[in-house]
Structure 1
């Protein structure tokens, strides 16, 4: 006879797995929200270097009066991406609000694999704070849409979104745009996040030959 503790643990794991299954996205496109408002809040992760350039190129074509306020998640210490985000805001001449949020890197370049779990946990705690705690302790709010495009910290940010979703809290819908540099296959981040995004977009059609969720919208950057 199984010990009651083992039975309870098995039941808890089963219910958690069922909950995760039920909250996974079912459609490849985002249905329009009921009572569509004139504006929507937007968040984007700037992953430094080429990822930042691509993410900002995506945002540059948007009407900032409609997508407001905007939140930029930036890796801790990435002052160049922060500067580029502010330059874009200046270029667009936006009068609406925006904010910068620093997130510890889940993994730094050449970081030893043994130390990655610790840094990833620090990053996850920061992302969870922004998604779950900050809306209750400050004027910060959770965005309606979150745009991700590749760096490893995107996985941590996506996980934080699903923590909110798991507990029925407000969370953004995730749009993942694979990097323009990924011509023949998905990045590791793309492979991980593909089942969990509300919309998964690639820029080269051959990436979708093997099947799976996703859509090709051509070159976006």
Structure 2
């Protein structure tokens, strides 16, 4: 009986691997295409913020969104980055008139563990990276975002990778939009390079023509700042 079960398991592994390979190819082919059916309701939107200029750029992009279409909005920043979420909260409060200090119900603000702090040793970062990945996967499963916006902070990598994994497993579908920072003129950031090379993002935008020529699958979006 034990040998029969072992043999069945050995036969099932190649089948599962083949199914995953087919699903992976389908996700890559389907990525970037518009939805087959128009959505009447809002799209759950995950917005990844980062310290410094990343948040300033992202908030500039968010102000141009159709608020009734991209709702509810989930803002995510690193656990040690409190300023970014404060800026997002100020912006969401500005959308409300006559509601006092009440935070708009269509916006939520979350924090995620950072894979590696500045100056942290690479050995200890192994454990923190694993923790960040697990935390990111939990957030993606909990939120099930339909749209993800990010522009380069390292915290976007585990979030986008988790969303891509759910697509491959058929547990959800997120359209990932990556907008490279305007500070990147001649080469992509590490986050951008990973998402571009691994084809995780559905739409990849750059703000300089030099980058678009160097990375032909990227789309030139012009200056967004």
The CA deviation at 1:43 is 1.1
Q: Does the 8 Å CA contact 1:25/1:196 hold for their aligned counterparts?
A: no
With the length of structure 2 as denominator, give the TM-score of the two structures.
0.83
How many residues in Structure 1 have an aligned counterpart in Structure 2?
211
Q: What's the CA shift string for 1:1-28, capped at 9, x where partnerless?
A: xxx788876665555444323322556x
Q: Does the 8 Å CA contact 1:75/1:105 hold for their aligned counterparts?
A: yes
Deviating more after overlay: 54-63 vs 4-13 = 4-13
Q: 1:82 to 1:202 in 2, by over 3 A?
A: same
Q: What are the residue-to-residue correspondences of 1:171-186 with 2, within 5 Å?
A: 171-186=173-188
* 2: CA distance, partners of 1:96 / 1:130: 18
With the length of structure 1 as denominator, give the TM-score of the two structures.
0.85
Q: 1:66 to 1:127 in 2, by over 3 A?
A: same
SS in 2 for 1:106: coil
1:213 aligns with 2:212: no
Q: 1:169 to 1:35 in 2, by over 3 A?
A: same
Match of 1:137 in 2: none
**Any gaps of 5 or more consecutive residues in structure 1?**
135-140
- For the pair shown, the structure with the greater C-alpha radius of gyration is 2
Match of 1:108 in 2: 117
Q: Does the 8 Å CA contact 1:64/1:92 hold for their aligned counterparts?
A: no
* 1: CA distance, partners of 2:17 / 2:118: 35
Q: 1:88 to 1:25 in 2, by over 3 A?
A: farther
Equivalent of 1:167, from 166, 169, 172?
169
Q: 1:20 to 1:126 in 2, by over 3 A?
A: same
Deviating more after overlay: 30-39 vs 152-161 = 30-39
Equivalent of 1:23, from 21, 27, 30?
27
RMSD over aligned Cα, in angstroms?
2.4
Q: 1:112 to 1:14 in 2, by over 3 A?
A: farther
* 2: CA distance, partners of 1:207 / 1:84: 29
Q: Does the 8 Å CA contact 2:157/2:191 hold for their aligned counterparts?
A: yes
Q: Does the 8 Å CA contact 1:65/1:96 hold for their aligned counterparts?
A: no
Equivalent of 1:129, from 138, 154, 157?
138
Q: What's the CA shift string for 1:158-210, capped at 9, x where partnerless?
A: 11102211210113210000001001111111111011111001111110212
* 1: CA distance, partners of 2:151 / 2:222: 15
* 1: CA distance, partners of 2:13 / 2:122: 31
Moved over 3 A (4+): 4-19
